[in-house]
Amino acid sequence: MLKGIAASEGIGIGKVRIISQQKITYDTKPVIGVHKEIDRLHDAIDTFIDKTNQLADEMEKSVNPKEAKIIRGHVTMLSDPFMVSQMDELIKNDNKCAEAAAETVLDMFKNMFQQAGDELTRQRATDVEDIKTRLLRILLGIEEADLKHLPPGTVLVTNDLTPSMTAEMDHENVVGIVTESGGMTSHSAILSRALEIPAVLSVLNATATLKEGSNIIVDGINGEVIDAPTMDQQEAYEQRREDYFEEKKRLQAYVGKRTETADGMSKEVFCNIGNPKDGIAARDRDGEGIGLFRTEFLFMDRNSMPGEDEQYEAYKKVCDTMEGKTVIIRTLDVGGDKEIPYMNLIKEDNPFLGYRAIRYCLQNEDAYMLQLRALVRANHDTGGNLWIMVPMVASISEIMQVRKLVAKAAEDLSMPIPKVGTMIETPAAFIMADVLARHCDFFSIGTNDLTQYIMAADRGNASVAYLYKTYDPAVLRALRSIISAGKKAGIPVGMCGEAAADPMLIPLLISFGLDEFSVGPTSVLHTRAEINRWTKAQADEVAKGVLQLETAEEVKMFLKEAIK
Q: Which of 450, 446, 435, 536 is nearest to 489 (CA)?
A: 435
3-state secondary structure of 18: strand
Whether 74 is a known active-site residue: answer no
3-state secondary structure of 383: coil
Among candidate residues 74, 187, 439, 526, the one labeled active-site is 187
- 215 neighbors 15 (Cβ within 8 angstroms): yes
In angstroms, the CA 43 to CA 138 distance is 9
Q: Taking the mean position of all CA atoms in its chain, how far away is CA 246?
A: 27
In angstroms, the CA 435 to CA 428 distance is 11
In degrees rounded to 5, what are phi and psi of residue 363?
-90, -10
- 55 neighbors 166 (Cβ within 8 angstroms): no
Strand order in the sheet with 154-158: 2-3, 224-227, 215-219, 11-19, 154-158, 174-179, 199-201, 5-8
Q: Which of 43, 525, 1, 510 is nearest to 219 (CA)?
A: 1
In angstroms, the CA 377 to CA 461 distance is 41
DSSP secondary structure code for residue 136 in this structure: H
- 440 neighbors 399 (Cβ within 8 angstroms): yes
DSSP-derived pairing of the beta strands 224-227 and 2-3: antiparallel
Whether 440 is a known active-site residue: answer no
DSSP secondary structure code for residue 173 in this structure: G
Q: Is the dihedral of CA 474, 496, 201, 20 positive or negative?
A: negative
Residue type, 528: R
DSSP secondary structure code for residue 296 in this structure: G
Residues 6+ apart with CB under 8 A from 108: none
Among candidate residues 271, 361, 440, 496, the one labeled active-site is 496
In degrees rounded to 5, what are phi and psi of residue 556?
-65, -45
Q: Which of 463, 441, 445, 309 is nearest to 381 (CA)?
A: 309
In angstroms, the CA 506 to CA 265 distance is 14
Residue type, 45: I
H or E segment at 390? strand 386-390
In angstroms, the CA 193 to CA 142 distance is 30
The residues carrying an active-site annotation are 187, 496
